[in-house]
Chains A and B, each alone.
Chain A
Amino acid sequence: MTCRLLIQLVTFDSMNRIFLLIVFFLLVVGATGQPLVVTTSGGPSFHSSVFSLTEAGKNFKSRAVSQTKGYLDVTSTNYWYNYYSNYRWRISVYRYDVIWAQELSLQIKRVSNGTRVSNSGSISGGKSWISVSNIPQYFFKGSGAWSNIKLNFRLQNVSVLIPADDYQTTLVFTIYED
């Protein structure tokens, strides 16, 4: 009888331990899991006049600023994070080329903070033009959740010496824990 009771107690304790371990595991994963996502919208467009000429002998203007802007949202599907958390993050950017001329430089900068979604947070960096290369590089950083962080784009070294073609590249934004 005593032995049977002991076995039951041991079994009960084991179950409790397993239960507590699972709860602990979920809490730990919840605390350290990725709550943030970066979402893009909009993007650059360059007026056709950038690549046209009316006077023989001239070159294109070397610099062309995008007519339209791009936007980044740094938010989370985690309700609590969106409003109460203050995780620090940083954004990196690189260029994934489909058709591109190495002479061309695609530059980007952050022109506004957008709107803060969380109760607290900050954004810094990225306010000066940087040339986006094929290697990920730091763009800007911040904390908390934000929407509509406005970006501007420009092309440098535009020239008639670059082969005529339909150029296409993709800007890849990655968010990391800072």
Chain B
Amino acid sequence: MVKKIKGTFLLTLFFLFPPIYGWGQNGGGWDEEDYIDVAFSIPEIALIDMEPSNVHVKLSLKEQVNPGEAVEIGDGEDNSIWINYTSTLSSYSLGRSINAQVTYGTVPPGISLYLSASEYKGNGKGSMGSPTGTISLSNSPQTIISNIGRCYTGNGKNKGHRLTYTIEVTDYSKLEYSEASDLQVTYTISDI
């Protein structure tokens, strides 16, 4: 009888009050864990713009006065525009490049319109692109800056790459008098 009462008492202790001795808790030791998940995405970004914006570049030839002499270049060069860019890439991306092409109008016959980008300058950070040298602008895209990695050039004038436009008479036989020709040059940053 005494045994039965004791047994019942023990069973009651054991099964009805498990919290008293910590049964059912994590391992029964003095440590317990829980978790909070943290998740976010850094997207791939490729942005370029010109600084200052909405600036028109004006290049011209001088009016010929003396027959037989070479045509003089008037405003033959402009380097007032800078190109800024920001580029984020995944670990698997090879990099980016910037192409330029004439997307409105055509370069007048007998004249070449050249474009070059300077080495990077500014207070940005990261893997900046490398200028590819001078290109003769046309309606086909051509690379002016290559091997852009993850970087930002800084925003504004005197940051990024200075762009230089020049014109040159390359074929007098095709040279024609014309009123001003408007051209639009479009820059595109794209994955390699």
List residues of chain A with CB under 8 Å of any chain B CB: 15, 19, 22-23, 26, 29-30, 33-40, 42-46, 50-53, 55-59, 70, 72, 76-81, 96, 106, 151, 153, 155, 158-177
Asked if A34 contacts B19 (CB within 8 A), the reply is no
Q: CB-nearest residue of chain B relative to A70? A: B36
In the complex, which residues of chain B have a beta carbon less than 8 angstroms from the beta carbon of A23? 10, 13
Determine which of B26, B27, B154 lies in contact with A57 in the assembled complex, contact meaning CB atoms within 8 Å. Answer: B154
Asked if A57 contacts B45 (CB within 8 A), the reply is no
Interface CB pairs A-B, < 8 A, 26: A26-B21, A29-B22, A35-B22, A40-B36, A55-B47, A55-B155, A56-B47, A56-B84, A57-B47, A57-B86, A59-B125, A78-B19, A81-B19, A96-B35, A106-B38, A151-B36, A160-B152, A161-B125, A164-B45, A164-B93, A165-B42, A167-B40, A170-B38, A173-B33, A173-B36, A174-B31
Bound together, the chains give a CA A161 to CA B29 distance in angstroms of 44
Determine which of B40, B86, B90 lies in contact with A56 in the assembled complex, contact meaning CB atoms within 8 Å. Answer: B86
Asked if B13 contacts A26 (CB within 8 A), the reply is yes
Asked if A53 contacts B45 (CB within 8 A), the reply is yes
Q: A36-B32, A51-B42, A170-B37 are in contact. Are A163 and B48 (CB under 8 A)?
A: no
In the complex, which residues of chain B have a beta carbon less than 8 angstroms from the beta carbon of A34? 22, 25-32
In the complex, which residues of chain A have a beta carbon less than 8 angstroms from the beta carbon of B160? 57
In the complex, which residues of chain B have a beta carbon less than 8 angstroms from the beta carbon of A39? 34
Is B54 an interface residue, CB under 8 A from the partner?
no
Beyond A51-B42, A160-B86, A173-B33, list 5 extra A-B contacts (CB 8 Å).
Answer: A33-B25, A34-B25, A59-B125, A164-B93, A169-B39
Bound together, the chains give a CA A44 to CA B35 distance in angstroms of 12
- Interface residue tally for chain B (C-beta within 8 Å): 59
Q: A160-B88, A160-B126, A163-B91 are in contact. Are A19 and B40 (CB under 8 A)?
A: no
Asked if B34 contacts A40 (CB within 8 A), the reply is yes
Asked if A177 contacts B47 (CB within 8 A), the reply is no
Q: A57-B159, A173-B34 are in contact. Are A30 and B47 (CB under 8 A)?
A: no
In the complex, which residues of chain A have a beta carbon less than 8 angstroms from the beta carbon of B3? 15
Asked if A176 contacts B30 (CB within 8 A), the reply is yes
Asked if A153 contacts B38 (CB within 8 A), the reply is yes
Q: A57-B154, A77-B19, A160-B88 are in contact. Are A43 and B30 (CB under 8 A)?
A: no
Tally inter-chain residue pairs, CB-CB below 8 A.
191
What secondary structure prevails in chain A residues at the interface with B? mixed
- Report A90 CB to chain B, min CB distance, Å: 11
In the complex, which residues of chain B have a beta carbon less than 8 angstroms from the beta carbon of A72? 34
Bound together, the chains give a CA A33 to CA B31 distance in angstroms of 10
Asked if B43 contacts A51 (CB within 8 A), the reply is yes
Asked if A38 contacts B45 (CB within 8 A), the reply is no
Q: CB-nearest residue of chain B relative to A54? A: B47
In the complex, which residues of chain B have a beta carbon less than 8 angstroms from the beta carbon of A53? 45, 47, 86
Q: Which of B37, B126, B155 has the most CB of A within 10 A?
A: B37
Q: CB-nearest residue of chain A relative to B18? A: A77
Determine which of B22, B31, B90, B125 lies in contact with A163 in the assembled complex, contact meaning CB atoms within 8 Å. Answer: B90
In the complex, which residues of chain A have a beta carbon less than 8 angstroms from the beta carbon of B152? 57-59, 160
Asked if A30 contacts B22 (CB within 8 A), the reply is yes
Determine which of B21, B25, B45, B155 lies in contact with A160 in the assembled complex, contact meaning CB atoms within 8 Å. Answer: B45
In the complex, which residues of chain B have a beta carbon less than 8 angstroms from the beta carbon of A175? 31-33
Bound together, the chains give a CA A166 to CA B154 distance in angstroms of 26
Q: Which of B22, B48, B87, B91 has the most CB of A within 10 A?
A: B22
Q: Which of B20, B47, B155 has the most CB of A within 10 A?
A: B20
